[in-house]
Amino acid sequence: MPGRLQTVLLLVLSLALLPGASPEPSASRRDVIRMVDRAVEYYQANGLEALVTALEDPENTEFHDRGLYGFIVSDEGQFVAHGANPRLTGKNLIKLKDQNGVYLFREFVETGQTKGRGWVSYLWLNPATRKLQPKVTLVQKLDPGNFVAVGVYQKAR
């Protein structure tokens, strides 16, 4: 019997160590800040087109990590790039309101234009839970016409 118990324990431990077998730690605001900073550095070193390509490459772990992804929006509210859904590129969402009436893209643009960098809070559909959840996004001005942003869902209270 001890041999059988050891086999079962070994199997359980082996499964626990498989990639994806245990949940990843969730991303934090600190992780958002790091990703925005990396995107700005990447932009400064390589330009806008290269950053768009990097953000929209799902294999690029520099800009895809634990549900975090970057996106670029123009000062008119049009997606220049979207890390989670490149089909949004070219779409203008300046008139989009969340369930609380927040014009989130107007907030993004205003934050980028007036502060250069800042946080915007709103409700957004979480693809993992398929529910509307509070999300906070860090917006950073890239150049006179565009800004980069990364957001994280807030934990339910």
Task: Note the pLDDT tens digit of each residue in 26-38.
Answer: 899 999 999 999 9
63 in Cβ contact with 38 (< 8 Å): yes
Asked if the structure places residue 18 within a domain, the reply is no
Question: pTM (2 decimals)?
Answer: 0.81
Give the chain's mean pLDDT. Answer: 85
Where residue 112 sits, what CATH number does that domain have?
A: 3.30.450.20
- How many structural domains compose the chain? 1
Question: Does any domain span residue 6?
Answer: no
The answer as to whether 119 is a domain residue is yes
Reported as a pLDDT band with limits 50, 70 and 90, residue 156 is low
Q: What is the pLDDT of residue 157?
A: 59
Q: Show the 3-state SS of the chain.
A: CHHHHHHHHHHHHHHHHCCCCCCCCCCCHHHHHHHHHHHHHHHHHHCHHHHHHHHCCCCCCCCEECCEEEEEEECCCEEEEECCCHHHCCCECCCCCCCCCCCHHHHHHHHHHHCCEEEEEEEEEECCCCEEEEEEEEEEEEECCEEEEEEEECCCC
Q: Please tell me which residue, 44 or 2, carries the higher pLDDT value.
A: 44
* 140/8: higher pLDDT: 140
Residue 16 included in any domain = no
Alpha-carbon gap, residue 13 to 59, rounded angstroms: 29
* Reported confidence tier of residue 12, pLDDT bands at 50, 70, 90: very low
Average pLDDT (4-27) is 40
Q: pLDDT digit string (tens) for 80-122?
A: 999 999 999 999 999 999 999 999 999 999 999 999 999 999 9
Does residue 107 fall inside a structural domain? yes
Evaluate whether residue 1 is within a structural domain.
no
* Nearest CA among 148, 153, 154 for reference residue 70: 148
Distance CA 122, CA 104 (A): 7
pLDDT mean over 139-149: 96
Does residue 10 fall inside a structural domain? no
Report whether pLDDT(22) > 50.
no
Range of the domain at 88: 26-153
Specify if 7 maps to a domain.
no
